[in-house]
Amino acid sequence: MMIIPAVDILDHNVVQLVGGVPGTEKIILRDPVEVAGSWIDKGAKALHIIDLDGAFGKSNNVTIIKEIIKKYDVPVEVGGGIRDESVISELLSAGADKVIVGTRAIKERDWLIDMASKFPDRLLLAMDTKGNEITVKGWQECSSVSVDGMFRIIKDIPLAGVLNTNVDVEGRAEGIDELQAREFISKCPHPVISSGGITTYEDTKKLCAAGAAGAVVGVSIYTGLLRPWDWNIPWIVSI
């Protein structure tokens, strides 16, 4: 299982929010391109970039994201308020490995099917969960479709995978919800990248054992609680 550092961009800064709530920034760093490079220098094999401005309906950071993709030769998955085919195409053409779609994909099944058929195996579906519900619009609203219902919808759609962020534990650096993670991964019909609460090496081992394909880490690496660069095989976890 690969550990993937998060580079969340808000107001042109790298931030880490508690539960995705604006104003709860635990980390504020001024240069997203430099921050991304710092993780590559420490041995990261991929990057997870989220445009929080785009997710919150503000102006996007596509220019900054494209600069990061161009500068660093690692796979980059990009998300945050991506609701248009033109933006998906622009990011993939710029070199993004995968594009994350969330709110519109959850709300409009036909659009998701259409985009996945046009960009097969290049889209990650963000199924961000709070309790037993899927949240959308930057975790500000709950969707009318259930988690199990969404699994049924996407079963035969050619997605690259599903990104599951557990909003209840996101940004708190207090550990994962192992039961939630195991249940989600076991039921999901596509590979799962897990996010939310990953704080210790033991957390990463639990996710690996549960079958996660990847784990996105934020606060824990920015504060030094989790230090993949000190491992024997940097940024990779095995059972």
Which residues are catalytically annotated? Answer: 8, 128
The neighbour count for residue 118, using CB atoms within 10 Å, is 12
Phi first, then psi, for residue 53 (nearest 5°) are: -60, -45
DSSP string, the chain: -EEEEEEEEETTEEEE-STT-TT--SEEES-HHHHHHHHHHTT-S-EEEEEHHHHTTS---HHHHHHHHHHS-S-EEEESS---HHHHHHHHHTT-SEEEE-HHHHH-HHHHHHHHHHSTT-EEEE-EEETTEEEETTTTEEEEEEHHHHHHHHTTS--SEEEEEBTTTTTS-S---HHHHHHHHHH-SS-EEEES---SHHHHHHHHHHT-SEEEE-HHHHTTSS-GGGSSSTTB---
- CB 180, CB 155: distance < 8 Å: no
